[in-house]
Amino acid sequence: MTTTRTETTVGQQLRDSRAIRDAIESIVAEVRSRSARITDVRGPIDGETESYQAFMDRAAQVRGRGLLYPYVGSGVGNGALVELADGSVKWDMICGIGVHFFGHSDPELIEAALLGAIDDTVKHGNLQSNTGAFTFAETLLTEASRASRLAHCFLSTGGAMANENALKVCFQKHAPASRVLAFKDCFMGRTVAMSQIGDEAAYRVGIPLNFLVDYIPFYDEIEARQIGEARYIERAVAQLQEYVDRYPGQHACFVFELIQGEGGFNTAPRAFHDALMKCCKANDIAVWVDEIQTFGRTESMFAFETLDLGPYIDVLCVGKMTQACATLFTEEYNPGPGLLSGTFTGETVSFRVGQRIIERLRDGGYHGPNGANARHYDLFARQVRAMADQHPDWFPPVPQKTGTPGAADIVGGAGGMMRFTPFAGDKDAIVAACQTCFDEGVILFYCGHDPYHIRMLPPLGVMRDDDWPRVFECVERGLSRAASDA
């Protein structure tokens, strides 16, 4: 084989091409110009409602059931505002369950996506991959390893697959242990294995159970306040130790959601997680942390940094905001050959966009007690409390399903994970309120289990402080309709 000497590869020459750069700049400028026309909430364009409904009917036929919301995007938005295919515009406060932290039609991310789109390999995998996949993984691992022992990163196409890989890593390391520990009300994804760990019976109807899960109650702020935090934590550790003693050597891992997502945006103090993780270490049980929803949204890039738990972590999963998903693990948990693989690990576009997102999170002033995430959470909470003061009948006390006396705060979460609780957390009322708010111009979703909550995962990367009153004008109209219809 003849060796050809050139200064750079043809691939790098293509990416450096002035013609390519000019074309990308032209496309980004055109998107920016069109996107700027989207400035506020509006209803459908005249004559588009019927064709939009026809498309929704086709989508329902293809899927086998209708969409939860009549949401089909036109392909453009402006920051926190998104245009739907009928021409209507809404505030997007859920962002695909937290995927789009930088909102819609972000120029920098479009530029990264366009550069990624010229690669010859649309999909990367474990047999064929270009440099973008490994550069993304390096960037993510650099940030994760600053406050932990995480040393390796394996990419995958979705959060559930990242969690599947984490579970396999833990099982292999602790074979023949076959039990898993998790928090009550956790959610892990919808694969066969993850449906078994997730604490929602409806998500595993008809699914055969082939390993066993033991559940520890997540932190209950009201009960901890009543009996004392130290006593509450001692009781949780005692329950964990009871499981360990009952099934000695059979637990491969404990999966921690440091802030519960689907379970209700429930938070816990560092001392709670710290004590449980210490117990895991004392009993040779892997500490697996699921940050698929928390990544980037707390006062640090990783929630484990915010809580100073990095030294305990053996395996970590991220996704959603990162675009490409990943399982990170320490040197001790680096699995043997053949355990982790896959035809697809992601697309060049996802890797380049994901890398740019991590860089912007790192450099953009989002984290820390005075960062943008904390500031926006405070602005959100103020809006909810002002609305509750004006409409107290919408916000009766929120009962606790545990029967613990007292009521939960109507505002909860942390940073970019925000929830509030009207109508005493009644599921039907909360779901109806999400729909009326959608009709009034703001996209929300729900979380929790008796009580249920309205949740937001807003695009804090592009939210302005003065957006919040405009968002809550729509929320107030939606809740007013929901209260009237109840």
Q: Rounded to the nearest 5°, which phi and psi values hold at 151?
A: -125, -20
pLDDT score for 3: 58
pLDDT-derived band of residue 449, with 50, 70 and 90 as boundaries? confident
Which one is predicted more confidently, 1 or 421?
421
Say yes or no to pLDDT of 454 above 90.
yes
First to last CA, the chain: 77
Say yes or no to pLDDT of 56 above 90.
no
List, for residues 3-48, the tens digit of each pLDDT value: 556 678 998 999 899 999 999 999 999 999 999 999 999 999 988 7
Say yes or no to pLDDT of 131 above 60.
yes
Say yes or no to pLDDT of 402 above 80.
no
Q: Measured between alpha carbons, how far is 350 from 8 in angstroms, rounded to an integer?
A: 25
List, for residues 182-206, the tens digit of each pLDDT value: 999 999 999 999 999 999 998 999 9
pLDDT score for 1: 56
Say yes or no to pLDDT of 176 above 90.
yes
Instruction: Give start and end residues of each alpha helix (H) in 247-347.
Output: 270-282, 303-306
Answer for the pair 390, 171: CB distance below 8 angstroms, yes or no. no
Answer for the pair 378, 299: CB distance below 8 angstroms, yes or no. no
Domains of the chain: 36-98+373-486 (3.90.1150.10), 116-363 (3.40.640.10)
Q: Which of 94-108, 154-168, 300-314, 399-413 has the lowest mean pLDDT?
A: 399-413
The reply to whether the predicted model has a pTM over 0.75 is yes
pLDDT score for 19: 95
Q: Measured between alpha carbons, how far is 460 from 463 in angstroms, rounded to an integer?
A: 5
